[in-house]
Amino acid sequence: MKTNTSQVLNIGNAAFTLEKEMIDTLFQPINGKTAAGFYKKRARGILFSRPSGEPWFFLVANKYGERFFVSCGQVNGRVFYMHSMSERDEQAVGINELKYSQQRELAESIWNLAN
């Protein structure tokens, strides 16, 4: 099965696919790389997960039209969300050098691309 590049979301130096296409990137890399994880659309944003399925970060798309990233995790089967994205997560994804306004613009463009 070929990975549909229209379903790939690039954030910084990381690429994310739909869950069902994640495994395909092991055999058909995206720009020479295996996907950093996968994403699932939610009513109020996009949940980005590690390849293991563990929630990693969330693109918030709230009712006020704001788009921004926050870190998240899972405890006892429930996902919890932080108020912002941690520095460690920003570095892992490759957006740590972006100003806050640039991160918001990136989040807006990814939201528009995914919808």
Residue 86 included in any domain: yes
Domain annotation covers residue 93: yes
CA dihedral for 69, 79, 112, 5, sign (positive or negative):
positive
Total number of domains in the chain? 1
Structural contact between residues 14 and 94, judged by C-beta atoms closer than 8 angstroms? yes
The model carries a pTM of: 0.89
Asked if residue 22 belongs to a domain, the reply is no
| Span 53-70, pLDDT tens digits | 999 999 999 999 999 999
Contact 67, 61 (CB under 8 A): yes
Query: Is residue 78 one of the residues assigned to a domain?
Result: yes
> By residue range, what is the domain housing residue 76?
37-114
Assigned domain for 102 exists: yes
Q: 16-45, pLDDT tens digit by residue?
A: 999 888 888 888 887 777 889 999 999 899
Phi, psi of 33 (to 5 degrees): -125, 150
| Element containing residue 18 per DSSP (H, E) | strand 14-18
**Has residue 104 been placed in a domain?**
yes
| Domain assignment present for 15 | no
